[in-house]
A = this chain, B = another copy of it.
Amino acid sequence: MRTVDVAITGYGRIGREIAGMLQARTAAYRERHGVLVRITGVCGSAAGLVDPAGLAPERLAARGSFVPGLTGDAFLEAVRADVLIEAGPSDYRTGGPALGYLRWALGRGLDVIAVSKGALVLDLRGLLRLAAGHGGSLRFSGAAASALPTVDLLAHSLAGATLEGFEAVLTGTTTFVLDQMATAGLGLADAVALAQARGIAEPDPNFDLDGWDTAAKLVIIANAVLDAGLGLDSLPREGIGAVTPCDMARWAAQGLAPRLVGFVEHDGGGFRAGVELRLYGQDHPFAQLRGSMKGLRAVTEEMGALTVTGGASDPRATAAAALKDIEHAVAARQ
């Protein structure tokens, strides 16, 4: 039976969730694709574990058995893998270790799955070129709104249509905060505190509130689907930090729901793109978003408009998005 050896770089909550789900599905992969999927190495920022025969769940659970220093170049030298999953932190300034991991794996023709966003925001075009040049592939559902199909919908489901543009609610935290302000009458700070208490917002919520998270995902999606050449720093960007209860009351009286969206529209030969707070009437699908739901609305020439909403935001949903990429990578090699 063909083996598919998987290495995971970045071994925090998401990395562990991916490893657990992957191992739970060993039998399913064997039955569905006739392959034996093994995890041959994992590493965090300071330590790692490698075994070409595959790491059993018990060994992965015993963090004490991780080898100090087995990370970075030392990890890459030791590990043997067909698939590399990058699930470390996102560094939007330099790409961090993730960028090195991705370039190393793509330069060797591996199938690569990125969950972290930094390297993709900085150099998606270069990474895709590297994949094409070495017979590998790069997939990144976990970095492009995870459980909400974004690149899938735009590039796969709309492959037969001409895309005129799209707008998307890509950050669960901002939807939750705006919805709590609207429905529970909370002020911004209280709504943010509630989002933190529920584990929806990060301890530092400003990355989400200031629109950076939406902007990063928009850059990845638009560059992947339209080769739009967007950059994070040059993207016009708005946040929700200045929204007041007074604003909310005025919009509610007009029947409008505010949502933070990323958008891209064809504009002459190029693209107009940005992150904006937009107001939607109650019959718009984005006005119906509750909790930390996300949404994407695409407009096409031949098929009209298409909207997808939903997408849980927890580590399990993100891991399931990465596992989708594995399914596609394994199927494409058959």
Cβ-based interface call for A153 (8 A)? yes
Cα A300 to Cα B21 with chains together (Å): 15
| Residues A325 and B285 in contact, CB atoms below 8 Å apart | no
Q: Which of A148, A303, A312, A328 has the most CB of B within 10 A?
A: A303
- Say yes or no: A157-B152 contact (C-beta < 8 A), given A303-B312, A307-B308, A316-B302: yes
Chain B residues near A307 (CB-CB < 8 A): 308-310
A298 to chain B, nearest CB (A): 8
Q: Which of A290, A308, A319 has the most CB of B within 10 A?
A: A308
Cβ-based interface call for A327 (8 A)? yes
Cα A7 to Cα B319 with chains together (Å): 42
The proximity string for A residues 116-158 relative to B, scoring 1 for CB distances below 8 Å and 0 otherwise, is 0000000000000000000000000100000111001100111
| Residues B325 and A147 in contact, CB atoms below 8 Å apart | no
What residue of chain B has the Cβ atom nearest to residue A291's Cβ? B304
Chain B residues near A308 (CB-CB < 8 A): 153, 306-309
| Residues A306 and B302 in contact, CB atoms below 8 Å apart | no
Chain B residues near A283 (CB-CB < 8 A): 288, 290
Cβ-based interface call for A274 (8 A)? no
A129 to chain B, nearest CB (A): 16
Cα A310 to Cα B158 with chains together (Å): 12
Chain B residues near A152 (CB-CB < 8 A): 152, 156-157
Cα A328 to Cα B331 with chains together (Å): 14
Cβ-based interface call for A252 (8 A)? no
| Residues B288 and A303 in contact, CB atoms below 8 Å apart | no
What residue of chain B has the Cβ atom nearest to residue A306's Cβ? B310
| Residues B305 and A319 in contact, CB atoms below 8 Å apart | no
Cα A213 to Cα B288 with chains together (Å): 29
| Residues A310 and B305 in contact, CB atoms below 8 Å apart | yes
| Residues A328 and B149 in contact, CB atoms below 8 Å apart | no
Cα A238 to Cα B98 with chains together (Å): 54
Cβ-based interface call for A224 (8 A)? no
Cβ-based interface call for A323 (8 A)? yes
The proximity string for A residues 148-188 relative to B, scoring 1 for CB distances below 8 Å and 0 otherwise, is 11001100111111000000000000000000000000000
What residue of chain B has the Cβ atom nearest to residue A152's Cβ? B157
Cβ-based interface call for A36 (8 A)? no
Q: Which of A302, A307, A321 has the most CB of B within 10 A?
A: A302
A residues in contact (CB < 8 Å) with B: 21, 141, 147-149, 152-153, 156-161, 283, 285, 288, 290, 300, 302-312, 316-317, 319-328
Given A157-B324, A159-B323, A161-B324, 8 new contacts (CB under 8 A): A21-B302, A153-B157, A153-B308, A156-B156, A283-B288, A302-B312, A303-B317, A304-B312
27 sample A-B contacts, Cβ–Cβ < 8 Å, listed by A number: A21-B302, A141-B160, A149-B157, A149-B306, A152-B152, A156-B328, A159-B327, A160-B320, A160-B322, A160-B324, A160-B325, A160-B327, A161-B323, A161-B324, A283-B290, A285-B288, A288-B288, A302-B316, A302-B317, A302-B319, A302-B320, A304-B312, A306-B309, A306-B310, A306-B311, A307-B309, A308-B309
